Amino acid sequence: MKYLLFLTFAAVAFAQAPANAPNPLLNAKDTTETATRALQLMESTGVAINGLLPATEVLRLNAAKSVEDLRRNARNTVVTYQFLNQLKAFLAVSDTFPRPNPFPQIAAEQVSELRVATERFQRHFDALIVSSAATTAAQNADPNNLKRYADANSKLLPAGKTPRVVFMGDSITDFWRLNEYFPGREFVNRGISGQTTIQMVGRFLQDVVNLKPRAVIILAGINDIARGITPANIEDNLTIMGDLAKAHGIKPLFASILPVSDYHKDANPAWDVVSARPPANIRQVNEWLKQYCQREGFTYVDYYSAVADTNGMIPADQADDGLHPNAKGYRVIAPVGQDAIDKALVALPPVAPEQNKRRFGFPGK
């Protein structure tokens, strides 16, 4: 069943909140207790509304799995996001079922309590994202490498008449000399070699939203695959970035993961990159990404089809190590990216003065 995902990004709210406002970020105990209670309310509400229990069986099973995962790691951003959307989905489905007449007062109170718990989890997730993007980890670590572009961001001039587009990604973006392939365009490179999608989520506020671009083109996922992260988790992280961009009036474009090859492994065993990056996983994420963009009205940038040879691999003359495009490889994907960006920018409405000050949440909020 189709339902809307409303994502509130809380940075502006935090800046305007009173000094004595309660911290929306839940501790581990409150997180698990709130999640457990919400799961109980899904069950009891399902019993009170005729037909709701069987209609939401799979959804409730998935929510129960998320709660178990949160008990092991209450600060897991991906699982928190999954559970939040499972709560919203349950409420959206429940709203399509007629209430029995009379509807017991205790049941009405349980529905109301579930909505409050969902809103509380929304605020917790917002705070969790801001916390991961704005603070460093223990022992002065910088897991998302926020320092990489901090100075460059502070020196970046306000966006001018030429639309600004941020390129977010890993080494394939990091190594791309955008000024040589897109002269005269305000294309800002914010790629970091070796990064996974969850690390990009952690720096999305600093390296994308705060730069106030008209659009962002995201190329990510190959490092996740190499580290054994499941396609489902990759898709969750990409969804978070899409929602964050949309919530801040930024047009998201998602580039397909490029194919890899092992054509050069005889020259260097380290260039046997296919075994750690199964082509089937690449195709699975790309197929999901294409459908996701169609569903959400986002732009899908099909680098894969432009590059892949008859074996479904990047040609030997376009990637010297089987993973990173060389100059020829970038020449192949550059026009694909530029065409997609130009079409996306043409479709954008004029910039509204208050465009980036909107807050997204539940209907009526």
- Rg of the chain over all Cα atoms, to the nearest angstrom: 22
**Contact in structure between 216 and 243 (CB atoms under 8 Å):** no
For residue 151, what pLDDT is reported? Answer: 96
d(CA 310, CA 107): 59
d(CA 176, CA 180): 9
**Contact in structure between 150 and 156 (CB atoms under 8 Å):** no
Tokens of 18: 């009173």
Residue listed under structure tokens 């030429």: 162
Q: What does the DSSP 8-state code read for residue 241?
A: H
Tokens of 306: 């432009």
Domain ranges of the chain: 11-15+23-135, 147-349
d(CA 307, CA 233): 25
- What's at 19, amino acid-wise? A
Residue listed under structure tokens 């909020």: 365
DSSP string, 164-212: EEEEEESHHHHT--HHHHSTTSEEEEEE-TT--HHHHHHTHHHHTGGG-
For residue 270, what pLDDT is reported? Answer: 78
- CATH for the stretch 11-15+23-135: 1.20.120
In the chain, what is the straight-line distance between the N-terminal and C-terminal CA atoms, in Å? 23
For residue 85, what pLDDT is reported? Answer: 86
d(CA 208, CA 219): 13
- Exposed / middle / buried, residue 340 (Cβ in 10 Å: 0-12, 13-18, 19+): buried
Tokens of 299: 């732009």
C-alpha angle 278-292-305 in degrees, rounded to nearest 5? 50
pLDDT digits (tens, 9 = 90+) for 159-179: 888 899 999 999 999 999 999
Q: How many CB atoms lie within 10 A of CB 291?
A: 11
Q: What does the DSSP 8-state code read for residue 97?
A: S
Mean pLDDT of the chain: 85
Nearest to 23 by CA among 33, 32, 36, 13: 13
- Exposed / middle / buried, residue 97 (Cβ in 10 Å: 0-12, 13-18, 19+): middle
pLDDT digits (tens, 9 = 90+) for 196-230: 999 999 899 999 999 999 999 999 999 999 999 88
Helices 105-134 & 28-48 angle (0-180, nearest 10): 150
Q: How many CB atoms lie within 10 A of CB 328?
A: 12
pLDDT in tens, the chain (365 residues): 333 333 333 333 333 444 444 578 889 899 999 999 999 999 998 888 988 988 888 889 989 999 999 998 888 888 898 898 889 888 988 888 889 989 899 989 999 999 999 999 899 988 887 766 544 444 346 788 999 999 999 999 988 888 999 999 999 999 999 999 999 999 999 999 999 999 999 899 999 999 999 999 999 999 999 999 889 889 989 998 999 999 899 999 999 999 999 999 888 887 889 999 999 999 999 999 999 999 999 999 999 999 999 999 999 999 999 999 999 999 999 999 999 999 999 877 665 544 443 333 333 33
- What topology is assigned to 147-349 in CATH? Rossmann fold (3.40.50)
Q: What does the DSSP 8-state code read for residue 23?
A: P
Beta-bridge partners for 165: 187, 215
